[in-house]
Amino acid sequence: KPVRKLLASDQGGPGRFLAYALAKASRQWRRNAAERMPEAKGDVRIALMGEDPLFVVLYKLYRAYGRVFQLSFGPKSFVVISDPKALKHVLVDNADNYTKGLLGEILDFVMGDGLIPADGELWKMRRRTVVPAVHRKYVAAMTEMFSECALRGVDKLDASIGTDLPEKGSGKSTSLDMESFFSRLTLDVIGKAVFNYEFDALSKDDAVIDAVYTLLREAEYRSITLLPYWRIPGVSRLVPRQRRCEEALTLVNGTLNTLIADCKQMVEADDEKFMEEYLSKSDPSILRFLVASGDDVTSKVLRDDLMTLLIAGHETSAAVLTWTFYLLAQNPKVAAKMRAEIDAAMPDGPSALTTDDISNKLRYTTRVIYESMRLYPQPPVLLRRSIEEDMVDGYKVRSEADVFISVWNIHRSEEHWGKDVLDFNPDRFGPLEDPHPNEVNTGYRFVAFGAGKRKCLGDMFALYENVVTLSMLQRAFDFELVNPDEPVGMETGATIHTKGGLNMRVRRRKDSSGGNGTVTSDDDLLNQMKMGKWE
C-alpha cells in the first residue's frame, strides 16, 4: 500500500525513482515470500516411524500442508506434490528437467538400465525400440492368452472348492488368499507375454518362480528402506540379504539368457519376413519382437528391459486385481451391476473374450478397474529428481531435489473429486461411450498410468488383462471376505499390499458352468463328487 501511495503521489523527479525502486523491492519480497514452500516439520519424523505406510503419512501431511510442501530431516529434504497442475508441470511441461532419481537407486540391482529407471538418451533409444512391441495388434493377440490364463485360474479355483466345511445352506466353498492367487496368475500372464515362458505359478513352486519372488520382495524391501532413507544409516542392513538376492539374480538371469538364445535361434531359422508374420506366430512375445527387429541379443539392456517388463507387468496387475476384489466385496451394488454386464457378455459361463467384447460389452467392468486404480493407484507415489532449479506452483524447487508425486493424494483429493471422493463409484467418470479416463480427459486428476513421456507403455495390455481376469472369475464364482469386519490393512513396497492377505471365501455360482464347463448346480456337483470327480 505505501508503495502504491508513493506511486500515486509521484510527480516525477527523484520521488519517481524512489517509487520505482520500492515497487521493485516489494515485488521481489512478495515473490520470495510466495516462493517459500510450506514445510512439514515437528513430529513428522515420529509419524514416519509409525505404523502407517509412507504414502498414508504423506496423505495426512497433504491435508495439513497443502498441495506442494517440503519435508525435511536434517540435511535431507524432499518435495511432495499432490496437485494435478503441479504434476503436469513436472511430468509433462518441464519433464526434461527431471530424472527418475531415487527410483534408479532402488531398482538398479534388478532392472539395471531397463526402461523404468533409465534416463536420457539410453531411455529414448529403448523406449523407441520397445513401444512397437506392445502395439494394438499385439495386445489384441495377448487378450486371447489372458483368457486362457484366466480360464486356467478358474479351473484351479474350481478344483479347490469343497475343501472348506460347508456352512449350513451355503454350499461348498473354499477360502484362500486371493492376493497370492493373483500374484501367481499375473506372473503366468507376464511370463507368456514377455518371453513365452510358462511359469505355471498357479500350479507349482519351482526354483525360478522362487527366485523371481525373491527379487520382487527385495525390490519392495529396497523401496521402503532406501526410500525413506532416514530410517537406516546407509545400506548396511541390506548386506545379509545380499547373497540370497545374488543367487536369485543369477538364476533368473541365466533363465533369461537361455530364453534369449533360444529365441535368437528360432528367429534365425525363420526365413519368412518376420514383421508380417509376427502376430500369426504361436508366440508373439515381446522378446521375439525385439530379437526379430534386430535388438542386440548380447546386450545387457535387452535383458534389463525384459526383467523390467516382467516386474512392471506382474506387480502392478496383481495389486490392481487384489484391491478391485476387495472394493467389490465391500460394494455389493457395484458388484451386482458389473455382474449383470459380465453375465450378458458370457451367457454360457466363462469363455474366451476378445478386445471387441471388452470394448462393446464390458464397459462398466472396464470402469470398475479404472475406479479401483483411482482409489488404489499402483505405485501410489511417483519419484523424480530435478536437474536444474525450477518453479513449481509458484514455489522454488532447488536443483537435485527429490520430488515425490503422490498419485494417491491427487486421486483422493476432495478438492478435485468432490465430497464423495472416497466412494467406490465407477459411474463418476461420466457416460460409458468412452470408458477410458486418462490424464488428458480428466485434467490430470486421473493419472494411474502416469503422464507425459514416461507414461506406462503397458497401459492397454494391463487394462485388458485385468478386465478379462476379473470378468472370468466373477462369471464363475461368488467371492466374499472371510472377515468382512476386519480391515485388511495396507503395506507398501513398490505397490500397495494388504497386511495379512486378501482372505476370501469362494463359491461356485449356481448359474455358472464352472471351470470345466460341466457343473451347472450344487446338485450336479454333489453327483459328480459321488462319482469321485472332485475328490
Instruction: List interacting residues with ligand RET (CB under 6 A).
Output: 53-55, 103, 106, 116, 223-224, 227, 311-312, 315-316, 379-381, 492, 494-495
**Coil, helix or strand at residue 383:** strand
496 with 326: CB under 8 angstroms?
A: no
Nearer to ligand RET, 114 or 514 (CB): 114
Q: How far is the CB of 226 from ligand RET (least distance, A)?
A: 9
Nearer to ligand HEM, 103 or 338 (CB): 103
Q: How far apart are CA 129 and CA 65, in angstroms?
A: 42
Q: How far is the CB of 313 from ligand RET (least distance, A)?
A: 8
Nearest residue to ligand RET, by Cβ distance, number only: 55
Q: Which does 449 bind (CB under 5 to 8 A by kind): ligand RET, ligand HEM, none?
A: ligand HEM
Q: How far is the CB of 285 from ligand HEM (least distance, A)?
A: 11
Nearer to ligand HEM, 173 or 406 (CB): 406
Beta bridge pairs of residue 385: 99, 402
Nearer to ligand HEM, 316 or 469 (CB): 316
Nearer to ligand RET, 116 or 290 (CB): 116
Q: How far apart are CA 419 and CA 412, in angstroms?
A: 10
Q: Which does 161 bind (CB under 5 to 8 A by kind): ligand RET, ligand HEM, none?
A: none
Q: Which does 310 bind (CB under 5 to 8 A by kind): ligand HEM, ligand RET, none?
A: none
Q: How far is the CB of 375 from ligand HEM (least distance, A)?
A: 12
482 with 504: CB under 8 angstroms?
A: yes
334 with 284: CB under 8 angstroms?
A: no
One-letter amino acid identity for 70? Q
Strands (E) across 230-318 are located at none
Nearer to ligand RET, 25 or 235 (CB): 235
217 with 183: CB under 8 angstroms?
A: no
Smallest CA-to-CA distance from 466 within 353, 389, 380, 381 is with: 353
Nearer to ligand HEM, 175 or 180 (CB): 180
Supply 60's cell numbers: 495426512
Q: How far is the CB of 490 from ligand RET (least distance, A)?
A: 10
Q: Which does 22 bind (CB under 5 to 8 A by kind): ligand HEM, ligand RET, none?
A: none
460 with 450: CB under 8 angstroms?
A: no
Q: Which does 309 bind (CB under 5 to 8 A by kind): ligand HEM, ligand RET, none?
A: ligand HEM
Supply 189's cell numbers: 500372464
Q: How far apart are CA 183 and CA 186, in angstroms?
A: 5
Q: How far apart are CA 219 and CA 493, in angstroms?
A: 8
Q: How far is the CB of 467 from ligand RET (least distance, A)?
A: 19
Number of residues that this document lists for the chain: 535
Contacts of 25 (CB under 8 A, 6+ apart): none
Nearer to ligand HEM, 171 or 452 (CB): 452
Q: How far is the CB of 405 from ligand HEM (least distance, A)?
A: 8
Nearer to ligand RET, 122 or 224 (CB): 224
Nearer to ligand HEM, 40 or 403 (CB): 403
Q: Which does 224 bind (CB under 5 to 8 A by kind): ligand RET, ligand HEM, none?
A: ligand RET
Nearest residue to ligand HEM, by Cβ distance, number only: 458
Q: How far apart are CA 379 and CA 495, in angstroms?
A: 5
Supply 78's cell numbers: 524432499
Smallest CA-to-CA distance from 464 within 305, 286, 317, 326 is with: 317
Supply 271's cell numbers: 526365413
Q: How far is the CB of 29 from ligand RET (least distance, A)?
A: 36
Q: How far is the CB of 241 from ligand RET (least distance, A)?
A: 17
Supply 122's cell numbers: 539410453
Nearer to ligand RET, 110 or 154 (CB): 110
Tally the C-alpha atoms within 13 A of residue 128's C-alpha that lie toward its C-beta.
7
Q: How far is the CB of 210 from ligand HEM (least distance, A)?
A: 22
Which residues contact ligand HEM by CB under 6 A?
Answer: 115-116, 127, 134, 308-309, 312-313, 316-317, 320, 373, 378, 382, 448-450, 454, 456-458, 461-462
Q: Which does 301 bind (CB under 5 to 8 A by kind): ligand HEM, ligand RET, none?
A: none
Whole-angstrom Cα Rg for the chain: 26
Whether the bond between 117 and the residue before it is cis, its omega within 30 degrees of 0, is no
Q: Which does 428 bind (CB under 5 to 8 A by kind): ligand RET, ligand HEM, none?
A: none
One-letter amino acid identity for 271? D
466 with 365: CB under 8 angstroms?
A: no
Q: Which does 504 bind (CB under 5 to 8 A by kind): ligand RET, ligand HEM, none?
A: none
